[in-house]
């Protein structure tokens, strides 16, 4: 069995890390392809180093381009690599532009396995919502993490024999590297105390590319700092940094609001674990903080992870400054005692995925 795994962003590297190692050992040939979507050290190389993921067999130049240029490079390179490598199946994860390479594989008659299938926020202003619907539609086998996502696919008419609920891979990855996470010295380096800071990430186009939305987010962080006197530790994505530096916001940050370059995996999970609260537009932060017992405020109007809201670990605040600060007040006033959603604590996701990819059950 010849398997091609395609990735291109930090969350994909992390969540596929254990699966990549097992496919390397068990597949007749495992071809690892990086699209180049995330190409800086802080968003890419550091995760290969920390997680012990081998270097890709092929690296595209899909990074610093306009959307059209990026997709043109990725699709053209994907077609060339598929003809050259002739895989029996292509494995992808998530809803990024990198995962849109599924379109090329499907059009060339090559089966596609899609992890993280079935997520829906039902907001088509979110670029990833469009992506995930397209990728699910062209995939041969869809691998949702949760029953919520599986039911989304069934309601949309996807055949049940093409759906495999796997569980969420992040719990297995975090368990694998628990000692390294525990050993991170990031709190000491930053002079932080446990449960005495707010961890923040924001990177989504619909948030940082719209000045009014970015103003609302930064204004909300200022209000949190004013109300609670806690340090606001922002892991700042290059996209967000470029918007702020280009004058994309009129809001001046409070002295307690501090911006840091993106952290490595071990440092970031340690920061999540010991935060008083997390404020983020990231789907992965919702998942990780749910597992870690840290209350989360999602600074968006919707979420494709409703299980985190239903269990009580997360609330969706919208993008108004006052609503963001009020949501933090609510989440930190409530006890952090929720039941972990089914599938989040799974520790055998890599085995399930590898068995289905190599077992040929998709070829029915």
Tell me if residue 197 falls in helix, strand or coil. Answer: strand
Q: Provide the H-helix boundaries in the chain.
A: 10-26, 45-51, 67-85, 102-107, 127-138, 147-155, 169-176, 178-182, 186-190, 205-208, 211-228, 238-245, 265-273, 283-292, 306-311, 321-333, 349-359
Per-position b or e across 225-236, b if 16+ CB within 10 A of its CB: beebebbbbbbb
CA distance 301 to 319: 7
The region that residue 319 occupies, defined by phi over 0 for left and psi between -120 and 50 for alpha, beta otherwise, is alpha
Note if 58 is an active site residue: no
The region that residue 49 occupies, defined by phi over 0 for left and psi between -120 and 50 for alpha, beta otherwise, is alpha
Name beta bridge partners: 53. Answer: none
CA distance 71 to 93: 17
Asked whether the beta carbons of 294 and 271 are under 8 A apart, the reply is no
Tell me if residue 303 falls in helix, strand or coil. Answer: coil
Q: Give me the catalytic one of 30, 203, 213, 228.
A: 203
Asked whether the beta carbons of 79 and 55 are under 8 A apart, the reply is no
| CA distances, 222 to each of 91, 165, 295 (Å) | 42, 41, 19
- Number of other CB atoms surrounding residue 264 within 10 Å: 19
* Residues belonging to the active site: 203
């Amino acid at each position: 069995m010849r398997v091609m795994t395609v990735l291109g962003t930090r969350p994909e590297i992390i969540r596929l890390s254990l699966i990549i190692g097992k496919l390397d050992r068990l597949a007749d040939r495992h071809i690892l392809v990086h699209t180049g979507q995330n190409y800086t050290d802080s968003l890419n190389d550091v995760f290969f180093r920390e997680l012990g993921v081998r270097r890709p067999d092929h690296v595209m130049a899909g990074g610093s381009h306009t959307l059209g240029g990026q997709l043109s490079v990725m699709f053209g390179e994907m077609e060339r690599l598929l003809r050259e490598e002739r895989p029996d199946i292509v494995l992808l994860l998530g809803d990024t532009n990198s995962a849109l390479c599924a379109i090329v594989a499907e059009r060339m008659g090559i089966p596609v396995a899609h992890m993280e299938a079935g997520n829906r926020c039902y907001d088509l202003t979110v670029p990833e919502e469009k992506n995930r619907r397209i990728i699910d539609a062209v995939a041969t086998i869809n691998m949702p993490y949760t029953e919520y996502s599986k039911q989304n696919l069934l309601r949309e008419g996807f055949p049940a024999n093409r759906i495999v609920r796997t569980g969420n891979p992040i719990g297995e990855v975090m368990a694998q590297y628990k000692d390294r996470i525990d050993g991170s010295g990031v709190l000491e380096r930053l002079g932080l105390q446990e449960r005495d800071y707010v961890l923040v990430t924001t990177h989504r186009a619909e948030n940082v590319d719209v000045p009014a939305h970015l103003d609302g987010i930064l204004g909300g962080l200022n209000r949190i700092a004013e109300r609670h006197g806690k340090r606001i530790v922002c892991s700042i994505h290059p996209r967000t940094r470029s918007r702020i530096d280009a004058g994309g916001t009129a809001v001046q940050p409070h002295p307690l609001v501090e911006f840091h370059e993106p952290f490595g995996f071990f440092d970031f999970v340690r920061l999540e674990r010991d935060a008083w609260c997390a404020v983020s537009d990231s789907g992965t932060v919702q998942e990780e903080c749910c597992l870690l017992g840290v209350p989360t405020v999602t600074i968006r109007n919707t979420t494709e992870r409703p299980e985190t809201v239903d269990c009580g670990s997360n609330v969706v605040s919208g993008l108004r400054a006052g609503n963001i600060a009020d949501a933090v007040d609510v989440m930190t006033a409530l006890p952090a005692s929720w039941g972990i959603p089914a599938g989040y604590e799974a520790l055998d996701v890599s085995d399930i995925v590898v068995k289905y990819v190599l077992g040929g059950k998709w070829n029915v």
